[in-house]
Amino acid sequence: MDRTKPPQTPALPIYKLPPVFQTSLANGLSVLLIEDRRFPMVTARLGFQAGSKYDPAALAGSLSEAAAGLLIEGTQSRTARQIAEQTAALGGSLHASSSPDHLQLAASALSENLPQLLNLVADVACRASFPEEEVELYKQNRAQELLSQRADASFQADEKFAELLFAPHPYSRQDPTLDTIDRLDRAALAGFRDRSLTSNNAVLVLLGALPPRERALELIAAEFGAWQSRELPPPPPASFPEPNRSIVLVDRPGSVQADIRIGRLAVPRHHPSYFPLLVGNTILGGGASSRIFANIREKKGYAYDAHSAAYPLQDSGSFAVVTQVRNEVLVPAIQALLDEMHQIGAQPVSAEELDTARNYLSGVFVIRLETQDGLASQVAAVKLLGLPLDYLEQYTRRVRAVSPEGILAAAARFMDPQPASIVVVGDASRILAPLESFGKVKVEEAK
């Protein structure tokens, strides 16, 4: 064996999705059943087109998030404590989460307890009661959490970056404010439940050691069959501003470092450029072997962490490079980031970089699908995004099909620093003048 050369990584086998049975109830509920008998467990996902982009302006960033946080805090027949105790007795878990596009309930239990699990999930989804005392406690806790988040420069940078990229689309306001939290009440939450948590707006994924199909469908119909369908609220128009160079400095007096975001609008998963952008991002700043990490941290020593991220949403997406640097190196650090963004769209990546990125992305993806939780999450996401189920099977194939030319085209279009937005959070008294070397700077007070 030649120990002077690293071992060759064999090509990963193409992922094969287990058989998926798809159907719908008469009320419009979409159902997907997937067998996995490796463990005596069953995992459920109940997802809705009900993310924060549907929040009314007066409750922007608050309503969907609060509903997810309060769904398991009481129903018409169960208290929060009873829900928690019954979930534990099933040998499982139950929680809800909200994103800009979707709201999801995630649940699991021993397979022998599937009837009880479905009853619990249906009760929470269809009959959440949002008790007054739980709503008030949530508001108090969320307000304190938000104050803590706003003390973090990274949070402020992310918030301002989303505003610059997406405004006036609701993607620009993915977090609540103290005012929107204060406006939350039980009536708004109940209205959200009745308007958005409906059968014809839902996808149910059941995965695990399921009973025979006919029996599984009987159990689902018994719990969800009476759920009413309703006319759904329309999504906001998927229109976004053209990328343009803007520099915003969020003043944080006394800060000894600056948090930096540089980026622009990108693409959703269904866009033809998504996979070239994904692989290109991995090469540029997606890990410890990436260009940005090697240059900004290892070579120049400007920062402990420096990375890039391509974040797809249902209707759009974003690309950003992210770092935090000492005030003294702000200008050379930003220039180095801009140079790296330009370079990946100017010259083809090397064969070694491409192989490393493709192997990494393929391996991580396959590993994530090994667990029931991971596979159920991915199947639900694909269904909610309106993608074909074979998207999961085609993923590694499409990653491996990315070429240097494809990355070059995607990077030139979506990583070009010329029309990028720049957000810096730091002490304006120390870094405003240096930052103006990149153009006109708008200074804003930290919220």
| Contact by Cβ (8 Å): 78, 125 | no
Longest Cα–Cα distance of the chain, Å, equals 71
Q: Kindly tell me if the per-residue pLDDT of 53 is higher than 70.
A: yes
Per-residue model confidence as pLDDT tens digits over 218-261: 999 999 999 999 999 899 999 999 988 999 999 999 999 999 99
**pLDDT for position 174:** 85
| pLDDT of residue 13 exceeding 70 | no
3-state secondary structure of 409: helix
pLDDT over 80 (residue 7): no
Q: Tokens standing for 77?
A: 């027949």
Sheet holding 103-110, edge to edge: 20-24, 30-35, 202-208, 41-48, 103-110, 93-98
Per-residue pLDDT at 427 exceeds 60: yes
Nearest Cα neighbor of 124 from 157, 152, 86 is: 86
d(CA 413, CA 420): 11
Strand 246-251 relative to strand 442-445, pairing:
parallel
Residue 178 has which token pair? 């103290």
**pLDDT, position 273:** 97
Quick one: what percent of the chain has pLDDT higher than 70? 97
**Mean pLDDT, residues 95-111 taken together:** 97
The whole-number pLDDT of residue 9 equals 59
Any idea what the Cα angle at residue 437 is, between residues 432 and 440, rounded to 5°? 70
Torsion of Cα atoms, 336 then 339 then 341 then 343, to 10°: -140
- Cα(128)–Cα(125) distance, rounded to whole angstroms? 6
How many whole angstroms from its chain centre is CA 365? 15
pLDDT of 16: 85
Residue 130 makes CB contacts below 8 A (sequence gap 6+) with 67, 70, 73, 74, 186, 189, 190, 193
* CA dihedral sign of residues 81, 195, 386, 173: negative
pLDDT in tens, 135-188: 999 999 999 999 999 999 999 999 999 999 999 999 999 899 999 999 999 999
In the chain the domains, ranked by start, together with CATH numbers, are 20-224 (3.30.830.10), 246-445 (3.30.830.10)
Which residue shows structure tokens 């290109």?
280
Collect all residues with Cβ–Cβ distance below 8 Å to 372 and sequence separation of at least 6.
36, 39, 41, 42, 43, 108, 207, 208
pLDDT, average across residues 379-401: 94
Confidence bin at 3 (pLDDT 50/70/90): low
Given pLDDT bands bounded at 50, 70 and 90, which one contains residue 5?
A: low
Question: Does position 1 have pLDDT exceeding 60, yes or no?
Answer: no
Peptide bond into 168 cis (omega under 30): yes
Instruction: State mean pLDDT over 419-446.
Output: 96
* Predicted confidence (pLDDT) at residue 127 exceeds the cutoff of 80: yes
**Residues contacting residue 103 through CB under 8 Å, at least 6 positions apart:** 47, 48, 50, 51, 64, 67, 68, 96, 97, 196, 197
Contact 31, 25 (CB under 8 A): yes
Share of the chain above pLDDT 90, in %: 91
Q: What are phi and psi of 305, to 5 degrees?
A: -125, 135
Render 373-399 in DSSP notation, one character per residue.
Answer: HHHHHHHHHHHHTT--THHHHHHHHHH
At 60-80, the pLDDT tens digits run 999 999 999 999 999 999 999
Provide DSSP, 120-138.
HHHHHHHHB---HHHHHHH
Q: Calculate the average pLDDT of the chain.
A: 94
- Residue for token pair 């975001």: 261
Contact 441, 250 (CB under 8 A): no
Q: Is 334 helix (H, G, I), strand (E, B) or coil?
A: helix
Q: What is the reported pLDDT for 56?
A: 96
User: How many whole angstroms separate alpha carbon 85 and alpha carbon 91?
Assistant: 10
Handedness of CA 130, 135, 138, 142 (dihedral sign): positive
Q: How confident is the model at residue 110, as a pLDDT?
A: 96
At 97, list the tokens: 């989460």
Tell which residue, 396, 381, 393, 371, has the closest CA to residue 36: 371
CA proximity to 216, closest of 413, 34, 402: 34
Helix (H) / strand (E) element for 47: namely strand 41-48
The reported pLDDT for the residue numbered 288 is 86
Tell me the whole-structure pTM to 2 decimals. 0.92
State the pLDDT at residue 207: 97
pLDDT exceeds cutoff 70 at 8: no
